C-alpha cells in the first residue's frame, strides 16, 4: 500500500490526519473486501472440486444375474440396468409420476388402442449407434414378435408376458424416423406406467446383433452411465456418459460391489471402503444411528415378502394345509426380531402404500392348535416332511433369508411339519422356482410401477403361472383371472379399486401363499454422499449423486 509523507506541523493540526486516515481506511477496507471475495470464490471452487467427479462405491447383497433388461427379472440386475439404459418414459425423481424419457411426448387415440410417441433427436447409444425409431422397434419387437430375427435367445421375456403386453400389444410400427406407434388389441389402463419400466429399456441394435447371446454381459444403452467391467461375483464398474442427453452425471464412476454378508458390508462402510450399502442387519440399526459418519435413509416401501406354497405339489394343493401353515406362522415375532421396526406384518398381496389396498381384511391369527386341527382335517394328523427354500441374498422385502427360514422351520415343526431348509445361488434360485422345483419358497416383489396390476397380475394370474412363471405358487383361478383382466381393461379408477379389493379378498380366501411382511426401503450412506434421494421404483438416482468433503 502507498503511504504519502505528511508535514509534522500539519499533522499536529489534526485536519490532514483525519482526511488521510479516512482515505487509508477506505483503501484497507477495499483490500479486505477483495481478499474476502477471492477467498470465498476459492473456497467455493475447492468445495465444487470435492463434489464433482469421483467414484461412488455401492455395497449390495448379491450380484446381477444379467444386464439385458428384456431378459432379467431380479432387482440386482435392474438396479444396474437403470443406470445404463433409458426407457421411452421415465419416472420423476422420488415419484411414481411419469415424465419424458427417450420419448419427448405421446398421445393416445380416444379408444385407448393406439399410442403414438415422438422420439428425442440427437441421442446416441454408448457405442455410437444413433437412437431412432428403428432402435425402438428393434428393442420392443424382439420381445413381442416371435418372427423377429433376434427373438430367440437364451432366456425368456418374462415381463413382456407377465405385464400382459404379449397379448395386449397388436403391433409396433414406425411412422417416420422419430415417431413410433404402438397399437393394442384392447385397452390397458396402466400402459404408460408399464412401458416406463426397466425391462422395456431401449437397447443398441448394433450391440445385440454383434454379441448375440453374450449381449447380457456387454450391455449398451443410452443412459447416464456406460458399462465398463464385470467381475462376476465381485463387482460391476460403470463410467459417466460424457454425452448423456440429460446432462453428464456428477460422478465419474459407479462401482457395484457384491458383499453377501450384511455385517461385512457395514464394516466396509464404516472403514470408508464404501459410500453406501443396502440391507443392514436390523440388529445393527442402533449402531448405525450412533455413528456420526453415517446416515440411515428410509421410507415406506412398495414391496411384499411372502412364502409361496407350490399348489402343483401335494399337499399344498389342499386348502386346509395352506390354511394351517398361515395359522402356524407368528408374523409379529418375525417383524420384531428380523425387521426391528423396519417392516409391518403383511396380510394382503399388495402393500398398504399402494392405492386400492383393502385394510378391512383380517389377517389369519397365529394359532398352532387350530393349525394342527386343520392338518388333521386335511389327512395329515402327524404332519409331513417337505422342503423350505431360503433366499440366498438379502432383498428389500426379506433382509435375511436364512434367519427367516430358521424361524419358519421352528414354527412349522410345532404343528408337525418337518421343513428341510435348502437354497442355491441367486440366479439358480430364481431359475428353479420359476419352473416349480420348490415345495415352499421365499420370494417377494418390489413395485415396478405404482399400479396394483403390477403386483396382482404378475404374482397371481393364470397367465403368469405358465412356466417360466412369475406366479411361483402356480395358483390358477379362473375367477382371479377374470377380475384382473377386467381391471386392466377399464379406465374408471373407482371401478378398478373395487375390482382390486375383490381380488385381495379372493386371495385371502384361496391363500396360495403366506404374505409375511412389507418392509421399509432402507439405505445406509456415508454423510459425504450428497443428493442421494430414495426412489420408490428405480435406481436412476445415482446420476444425481455428488461426493462432498
SS3 string of 60-112? ECCCCCCCCCCCCCCHHHHHHHHHHCCCCEEECCCCCCEEECCEEEEEECCCC
CB 332 within 8 A of CB 367: no
Same domain, 167 and 192: yes
Q: Taking 50 as the threshold, does the pLDDT of residue 99 lie above it?
A: yes
**285 in a domain, yes or no?**
no
Q: What angle do CA 326, 330, 331 make, to 5 degrees?
A: 90
**292 in a domain, yes or no?**
no
Same domain, 27 and 79: no
Across 95-121, average pLDDT: 94
Cα–Cα distances in angstroms (integers) from residue 244 to residues 75, 184, 210, 240, 252, in the given order:
24, 32, 23, 8, 13
Same domain, 28 and 83: no
Q: What is the pLDDT of residues 10-33, one digit of tens each?
A: 433 443 334 444 444 444 444 344
| pLDDT score, position 283 | 84
Same domain, 416 and 328: yes
Across 94-109, average pLDDT: 91
Q: What is the pLDDT of residues 38-52, one digit of tens each?
A: 233 323 333 333 446
Same domain, 44 and 163: no
CB 22 within 8 A of CB 222: no
Mean per-residue pLDDT of the chain = 89
Across 371-400, average pLDDT: 95
In sign, the C-alpha dihedral spanning 336, 295, 297, 539 is negative
Same domain, 536 and 424: no
Q: What is the pLDDT of residues 60-84, one digit of tens each?
A: 999 999 999 999 988 899 999 999 9
Among 201-205, 447-451, 497-501, where is mean pLDDT lowest?
447-451
CB 227 within 8 A of CB 214: no
**125 in a domain, yes or no?**
yes
Q: How far apart are CA 439 and CA 387, in angstroms?
A: 6
Domain count, the chain: 3
Its pTM stands at 0.75
Same domain, 42 and 58: no
Same domain, 133 and 202: yes
| pLDDT score, position 540 | 65
Structural domain harbouring 26:
13-51
**280 in a domain, yes or no?**
no
CATH number at residue 92: 3.40.190.10
Q: How far apart are CA 98 and CA 115, in angstroms?
A: 15
How many CA atoms does the CB half-sphere of 27 hold within 13 Å?
9
Same domain, 250 and 199: yes
Q: What is the pLDDT of residues 233-277, one digit of tens each?
A: 999 999 999 999 999 999 999 999 999 999 999 999 999 999 999
Same domain, 138 and 244: yes
| Grid cell of 446 as nine digits | 418390489
| Grid cell of 512 as nine digits | 396360495
Across 148-173, average pLDDT: 90
Among 151-155, 221-225, 391-395, 512-516, where is mean pLDDT lowest?
151-155
| pLDDT score, position 539 | 67
Q: Which residue has the cell 445404463?
A: 84
Same domain, 173 and 100: yes
Amino acid at each position: 500500500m502507498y503511504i504519502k509523507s505528511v508535514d509534522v506541523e500539519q499533522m499536529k493540526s489534526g485536519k490532514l490526519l483525519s482526511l488521510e486516515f479516512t482515505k487509508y481506511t477506505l483503501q484497507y477496507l477495499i483490500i479486505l473486501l477483495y481478499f474476502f471475495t477471492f477467498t470465498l470464490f476459492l473456497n467455493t471452487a475447492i468445495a465444487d472440486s470435492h463434489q464433482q467427479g469421483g467414484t461412488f462405491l455401492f455395497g449390495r447383497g448379491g450380484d446381477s444375474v444379467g444386464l439385458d433388461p428384456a431378459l432379467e427379472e431380479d432387482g440386482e440386475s435392474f438396479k444396474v440396468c437403470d443406470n445404463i439404459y433409458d426407457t421411452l418414459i421415465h419416472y420423476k425423481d422420488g415419484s411414481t409420476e411419469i415424465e419424458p424419457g427417450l420419448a419427448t411426448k405421446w398421445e393416445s387415440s380416444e379408444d385407448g388402442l393406439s399410442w403414438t410417441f415422438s422420439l428425442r433427436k440427437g441421442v446416441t447409444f454408448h457405442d455410437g449407434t444413433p437412437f431412432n425409431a428403428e432402435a425402438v422397434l428393434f428393442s420392443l419387437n424382439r420381445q413381442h414378435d416371435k418372427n423377429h430375427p433376434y427373438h430367440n435367445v437364451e432366456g425368456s421375456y418374462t415381463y413382456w408376458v407377465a405385464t400382459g403386453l404379449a397379448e395386449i400389444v397388436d403391433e409396433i410400427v414406425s411412422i417416420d424416423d422419430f415417431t413410433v406407434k404402438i397399437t393394442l388389441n384392447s385397452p390397458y389402463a396402466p400402459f404408460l406406467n408399464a412401458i416406463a419400466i426397466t425391462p422395456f429399456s431401449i437397447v443398441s441394435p448394433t450391440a445385440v446383433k454383434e454379441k448375440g447371446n453374450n449381449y447380457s454381459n456387454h450391455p449398451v444403452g443410452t443412459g447416464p452411465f456406460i458399462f465398463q467391467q464385470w467381475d462376476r461375483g465381485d463387482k460391476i464398474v460403470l463410467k459417466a456418459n460424457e454425452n448423456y442427453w440429460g446432462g453428464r452425471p456428477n460422478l465419474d464412476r459407479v462401482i457395484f460391489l457384491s458383499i453377501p454378508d450384511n455385517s461385512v458390508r457395514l464394516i466396509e462402510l464404516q472403514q470408508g471402503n464404501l459410500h453406501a450399502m443396502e440391507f443392514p442387519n436390523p440388529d445393527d440399526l442402533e449402531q448405525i444411528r450412533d455413528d456420526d459418519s453415517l446416515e440411515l435413509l428410509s421410507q415406506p416401501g412398495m414391496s411384499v415378502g411372502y412364502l409361496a406354497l407350490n399348489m402343483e405339489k401335494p399337499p399344498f394343493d389342499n386348502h386346509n394345509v395352506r390354511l394351517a401353515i398361515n395359522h402356524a406362522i407368528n408374523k409379529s415375532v418375525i417383524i420384531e426380531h428380523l425387521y426391528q421396526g423396519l417392516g409391518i406384518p403383511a396380510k394382503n398381496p399388495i402393500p398398504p402404500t399402494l392405492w386400492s389396498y383393502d385394510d378391512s381384511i383380517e389377517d389369519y391369527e397365529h394359532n398352532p392348535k387350530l393349525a394342527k386341527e386343520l392338518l388333521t382335517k386335511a389327512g395329515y394328523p402327524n404332519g409331513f416332511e417337505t422342503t423350505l427354500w431360503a433366499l440366498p441374498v438379502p432383498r428389500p422385502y426379506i433382509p435375511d433369508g436364512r434367519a427367516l427360514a430358521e424361524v419358519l422351520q421352528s414354527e412349522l415343526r410345532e404343528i408337525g411339519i418337518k421343513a428341510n431348509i435348502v437354497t442355491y445361488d441367486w440366479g439358480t434360485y430364481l431359475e428353479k422356482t420359476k419352473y416349480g422345483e420348490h415345495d415352499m419358497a421365499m420370494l417377494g416383489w418390489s413395485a415396478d410401477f405404482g399400479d396394483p396390476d403390477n403386483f396382482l397380475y404378475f404374482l397371481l394370474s393364470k397367465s403368469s403361472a405358465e412356466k417360466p412363471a412369475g406366479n411361483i405358487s402356480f395358483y390358477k383361478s379362473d375367477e382371479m383371472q377374470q377380475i384382473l383382466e377386467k381391471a386392466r381393461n377399464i379406465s374408471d379408477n373407482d371401478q378398478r379399486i373395487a375390482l382390486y379389493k375383490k381380488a385381495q379378498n379372493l386371495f385371502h380366501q384361496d391363500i396360495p401363499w403366506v404374505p409375511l411382511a412389507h418392509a421399509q426401503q432402507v439405505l445406509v450412506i456415508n454423510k459425504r454422499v450428497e443428493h442421494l434421494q430414495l426412489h420408490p421404483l428405480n435406481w436412476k438416482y445415482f446420476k444425481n449423486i455428488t461426493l462432498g468433503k
